[in-house]
């Protein structure tokens, strides 16, 4: 039985690491990941 996984995290490095872990397990299938960027318009840091 395959478990379908959606990877979601605001850090690209974390998503990449989780993807690598999932790829080592034949029972896990990564079906998607977010591709949107967070906009910081009006933010003092952005």
Sequence spans of domains, the chain: 3-32
- What separation in angstroms does the CA of 17 have from each of 1, 7, 13, 23, 45? 23, 10, 6, 10, 27
- pLDDT value of position 32: 81
| Cβ atoms of 5 and 30 closer than 8 Å | yes
Write the pLDDT tens digit of every residue in 33-46.
666 555 555 555 55
Return the CA Rg of the chain: 14
Write the pLDDT tens digit of every residue in 4-34.
999 888 888 998 999 999 999 999 999 986 6
With 60 as the cut, is the pLDDT of residue 1 above it? Answer: yes
- pLDDT value of position 27: 96
Higher pLDDT pick, 2 / 43: 2
Q: What is the pTM of this model?
A: 0.66
């Amino acid at each position: 039985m395959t478990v379908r996984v959606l990877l979601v995290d605001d850090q690209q490095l974390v998503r990449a690491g989780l993807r690598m872990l999932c790829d080592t397990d034949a029972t896990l299938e990564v079906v998607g990941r977010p591709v949107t960027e967070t906009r910081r318009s009006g933010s003092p840091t952005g």
